[in-house]
Amino acid sequence: MSHSQVSRAPGRPNPAPGVMKLFPQRADPRDRRAPRIDMARIHAEKRKLCDALEAIADTLPSQVDRLECLKAAGELVPLLRECHRFEEETLFPAFLAAGGSGEVVARLKAEHVEDQGTAQELAEELFRIGHGQAVHNPEALGYLLRAFFESVRRHMAFERDHVLPATREEGEIPGRR
């Protein structure tokens, strides 16, 4: 399906192609819960990516699925970039407006930068493996993969437990959206 075939709310600007590919079901921006609904969907995509990376780490080097390496390599950088952009443009301002800590936001942004750097490094290696080249140092790659997805999972858990609740509207049922 091309980007132009995807239906959108009237009057809503077309998102960048990367955004549409990764987050095809963005909530109606007129819905006040939209940031939290979108956040849950984005985190679900990141969790799937972490699971895929863990499966790759578990099967290095001889059993590794090269197609999965290519798929993960293609998603890593754009998924993180769009996720971080959304959080920094939408979620964090809402968190700060609700009285959230600027130090916390600064730390989360620093983790975004670090994760994006590692994602770029991993994507290059996974593309290489996906295209049939040998896994030169499976121990080092396994270590880097685990360090990355464990860091991303911790980061998401913190945002879920400490950032999202601070932006939640009174009366909304936590975890039901």
Question: What minimum distance in Å lies between the beta carbon of 177 and Fe ion?
Answer: 19
Residues in the chain: 177
Per CB under 5 A, 115 contacts Fe ion: no
CB of 105 to Fe ion, least distance (A): 10
Count of other CB atoms within 10 angstroms of residue 67: 9
User: DSSP code of 162?
Assistant: I
The residue among 93 and 138 lying less far from Fe ion, judged by its C-beta, is 93
**22 burial via Cβ count (<10 Å: 0-12, 13-18, 19+):** buried
Q: Which stretch binds Fe ion (CB under 5 A): 19-27, 32-40, 79-87, 161-169?
A: 79-87
Contact stretch for Fe ion (CB under 5 A) within 7-15, 25-33, 87-95, 135-143: 87-95
Residue-wise burial string across 144-173, b where 16 or more C-beta atoms lie within 10 A, e elsewhere: bbeebbeebbebbeebeeebbebbeeeeee
For the CB of residue 155, give the shortest distance to Fe ion in the complex, in Å: 5
Taking the C-alpha atoms of residue 125 and residue 63, their distance in angstroms, rounded to an integer, is 16
Query: Does residue 87 belong to the site contacting Fe ion (CB under 5 A)?
Result: yes
Our CB check for Fe ion shows the closer of 72 and 80 to be 80
Residues that bind Fe ion in the complex, under the rule CB under 5 A? 87
